[in-house]
Amino acid sequence: MRKIICLGWLVMFLPAMICAQEKVDAPVWNVGDKWFFTLGNIEAASVDPNSYVMNVSDDACKFLNQGFKAIIFEKSTLNRVGVLIGGKRKEYTGGLRRVFNFPLNVGKQWKDQYSGKRLVGLHRDLSESFTETYTVLGWEDLQVRAGKFRAIKLEYKHVTTASTSPFLPLPLERKSIFWYSPAVKYLIKCQYDKSFEDEFKNWELTSFKGKK
């Protein structure tokens, strides 16, 4: 009887244990891969042995593009390592620098820091310092306009730690949730907490094209 109970326990919980331990490596992007969102689009423009150059449309969410039209991603982690401005490469120093940070697995957490100017809102152009914390929460089956996908749920905490504004209460924490789909090879949805500026609208994937 005890063996039957133990076997039943394994049948119930083993799939969840395997899912929790599953590791997801960085996807392979190809020139011409393109993702269309409710707010703009992103396309793989070029590839070299170590990095990808991704072009971001002018109408894309400012929070996602951080004010740049061409962002360079490191192949192994998909961390943002540079930008192209006037055809010249410069180091990337903005937010969401490590939003991917592959490989991913449930429970993984990492942090980053940066300084810069606020992109939108009433306090636009204020010089501020920020701390970012990322946590992989788990897997979900998520329905977006492009279809239904199995996705990794990623919590993002954005904390303003210093500001040139004397009226901004510090530290100021904001949260949002990203979902990444291995099948799509990119983020498929972002949901902002109400603590973010009104200019930041929730967005999701509407369609995509690319090689499998």
What structural domains and CATH numbers belong to the chain?
26-209 (2.40.360)
pTM: 0.84
pLDDT in tens, 30-63: 999 999 999 899 999 999 999 999 999 987 777 6
2 vs 176: CA distance, rounded Å = 45
Return contacts of 54-63, CB within 8 angstroms, 24+ apart: 54/29, 61/37, 61/190, 61/200, 61/201, 61/203, 62/119, 62/120, 62/199, 62/200, 63/95, 63/96, 63/119, 63/120, 63/190, 63/192, 63/196, 63/200
Distance (Å, rounded) from C-alpha 85 to C-alpha 83? Answer: 6
What is the DSSP code (8-state) at residue 145? T
Model pLDDT for residues 108-150, shown as the tens digit of each residue: 999 999 998 766 555 666 788 999 999 999 999 999 999 999 9
